[in-house]
Amino acid sequence: MPTSEHEDDEVEELYDVNEEILEEDGKGDTNTIIMGDWNSVVGDESHMNIVGPYGLGRKNHRSKMLINFCKRNGLIVTNTRFRQPKRRLYTW
């Protein structure tokens, strides 16, 4: 995903591309795993069974985009489901 320096329109385009791929594969017909750095900080509070309680930090602007994408497509942010040492919750 584009870094925080990129415009939201560029990020939305990539969300749209991912959504098209998910629709081609058939929602609900397959197990789908999307991996990568989405440049979002979803925070450390649970949210609608999409985000678990073990995230890091406070939500940022891009977290809303990721959460809405997950909501529309029946996905969850799995790395927030399990307690990890803080040093394992982020990458550089």
pLDDT per residue of the chain (92 residues) written in tens, 0 to 9: 787 788 888 889 989 998 888 887 666 667 778 888 888 888 888 888 899 998 888 888 888 999 999 999 889 988 888 888 877 776 65
Would residue 2 count as lying in a domain? no
Tell me the DSSP string of 37-61.
-------SS-BTTTB-S---S---H
Tokens of 6: 């990129």
Is residue 1 assigned to a domain?
A: no
Q: Cα angle at 83 between 80 and 84, to 5 degrees?
A: 95
63 lies in a domain? yes
User: What is the count of structural domains for the chain?
Assistant: 1
Token pair listed for 31: 């197990």
The answer to whether residue 17 sits within a structural domain is yes
Does residue 3 lie within any of the structural domains?
no
Domain containing residue 62: 8-88
> Does residue 14 fall inside a structural domain?
yes
Bridge partners, residue 47, by sequence: 51
Q: Is 3 helix (H, G, I), strand (E, B) or coil?
A: coil
pLDDT of 24 reads 79
